[in-house]
Structure 1
Amino acid sequence: MDKFINIQINEKLVKEMLNDKLECHLKQLESRFTFWDMKELCRQTCMSENSIKEKFFYDERFPKRRVGGKWYFPVVATTDFLLTWLSEQPNK
C-alpha cells in the first residue's frame, strides 16, 4: 500500500518571508560598519564623488569628519540624512 503526502505551499507568503529575512540580514551587514569613507559613500548611494559634492556634501546637516586627508561619515547618521535629503528632492 503506497502512502502519499500532499503539500501545498503559499508561494506569495514564502516570498514575503524570504524578502523579510533577506532585508534583516542586509541591515545587519550594513550596521557592521561604523564609518564609511568616500569610496563606500559613493558605493552606498550609487553616486559619483562629484555628484555627492554637487548635491549634498556641503549641506550643513550632512554628517562628516575629516581626519588627516580623508573624509569619514558615520553610517547611522549619514543614512538618516540621506533618507531625509532624498525625501526633500522634487519628484520630476
Structure 2
Amino acid sequence: MINIQIDQHEVKQLYLEKLEEKIKEVDAALVFWDRNELLRRTCMSWNFIQEKFFFDPRFSKFKVGNKWYFPADKTKRFLLQWLEEQSTH
C-alpha cells in the first residue's frame, strides 16, 4: 500500500508562484494601455485622472485620432511615483 502525504501549505505556495508568473507574462504583453485600460488598472474615474495627474508633464500620453494611448511601462512607473507623492502631502 502506498501512502501519499501532501503539504497543503507548499501546494498553495507553488500555486501562487505560478499564478504570479502568468500574471507577469500577461502584463508584459501589453505595450500600451488605452483609456479604458488606464481606468481599469487605476480604479479611478476619467474625471479624477484628468483632475489629479493627466496634465502632469511627467505623465506620458499620446493621442491617435480620437483615442488616448499610454505606454504601459512608463505609465506604471509614473503612477507608483505619483501615488507615493500623494501620501506625503
- TM-score tier, shorter chain, comes to 0.7 to 0.9
After the TM superposition, which parts of structure 1 deviate over 4 Å for at least 4 consecutive aligned residues?
none
In structure 1, runs of 5+ residues without a counterpart are none
Aligned residue for 2:68? 71
Question: Normalising to structure 2: TM-score of the pair?
Answer: 0.85
1:48 alignment counterpart: 45
SS at match of 1:31: helix
Q: Percent identity?
A: 52
* Change in CA separation of 1:8 and 1:89 when aligned onto 2, cut-off 3 Å: farther
What are the residue-to-residue correspondences of 1:77-92 with 2, within 5 Å? 77-90=74-87
Question: Which amino acid counterpart does residue 74 of structure 2 have in structure 1?
Answer: A
AA of the residue aligned to 2:82: W
| TM-score in terms of structure 1 length | 0.83
**Letter aligned with residue 51 of structure 1:** F
CA RMSD of aligned residues (A): 1.6
Structure 1 position 19 matched with structure 2 position 16:
yes
Aligned residues: 88
- Which structure has the greater CA radius of gyration? 1
- Aligned-residue offset at 1:36: 0.8
Q: Going by fraction, where is helix more abundant, 1 or 2? A: 2
CA apart distance, 1:10: 2.1
